[in-house]
Amino acid sequence: MRDIEPVGHSRLPNYLKNKTGTITRYWGVHHFYDTQPPGEEAPLQPIYNVRFSSGALWGADAESNSDVYVDMWEGYLAPTA
């Protein structure tokens, strides 16, 4: 996940920044309204469902054997090495 600080509204939860997840599903291409003022046509961007282990998000405080699934725009994602 990228560590971005967009100007204005973003649908990227802060607790996911710089965390590694696994893409589990592709939802297709949809209008990305995070960057557009109301009334303007938004650009298209793919959306993916991404799985994060709760341990990767919250460390020792996490519930064991649990995952968090989040639908995310492609622009929020970064490739892993």
Digit-coded pLDDT (tens) for 20-75? 999 999 999 998 877 777 788 888 999 999 999 999 999 988 888 899 999 999 98
Q: How far apart are CA 74 and CA 64, in angstroms?
A: 28
Q: What is the DSSP string of 13-60?
A: -GGGTT---EEEEEEEEEE-GGGS-TTSPPPEEEEEEEEEEHHHHHGG
Q: Which amino acid is at 71?
A: D
pTM score, two decimals? 0.79
- Domains of the chain, with CATH numbers? 14-76 (2.30.30.50)
